[in-house]
Amino acid sequence: MTLDDLWFLATRAEQRAEQAYHRLADTYSQFLEFSRTYDVSRRRFRTLARRVDDTGAPYGAHTVVYQPSGELLLVWHEGVDMWVLPGGGVHDDESYREAAERELHEEAGLEAEYEGLAIATRISIECGEYSTWGVLPTFQARAETTTPTVDDPEGEITDAKWFRELPENTRDRDQLRTWRERTLR
């Protein structure tokens, strides 16, 4: 793919992101919306734009899992060296929610009752004169089992724990605090 082809890829990805966002908005109500912008290399831009073109989501689908006590589940991601929500890529034959459930099982070995969409984040991706965006759907679920066991086939996730207070090195910490304040009163 030449650099000129990036414009076409970015445009297709934007169209796919619009469709994905509208499907989410038509299916779910009362979710939080955030936006985030990443300035990336050309190679990373191409990778993320292809993911968005394929699924509408550059980083797959995630789940914020909670216990009635208010504790949230986080997993340790070796690649980003942070505590993150369980989640990951969407396969061709699955919905965002199905992807989120599969990833939760792989990364933490938990079963949870899904309650809807918690957060839809607009991820803007920029590289020089090129830009596109995708959606990051984060579902909310109440834990049915509470002892996490990591069985990540990709080896990126090495630990899973419950937290009453979110660690400083938690990705999207402010978003999770906002969600917790609005949802778990």
Q: Which of 31, 30, 19 is nearest to 121 (CA)?
A: 31
Q: What is the pTM of this model?
A: 0.93
pLDDT at 153: 84
Instruction: Assign 152 a pLDDT band (cuts: 50, 70, 90).
Output: confident
How far apart are alpha carbons 139 and 160 in whole angstroms?
A: 18
Instruction: State pLDDT tens for residues 29-50.
Output: 889 999 999 999 999 999 999 9
Q: What domains lie within the chain, and their CATH numbers? A: 3-183 (3.90.79.10)
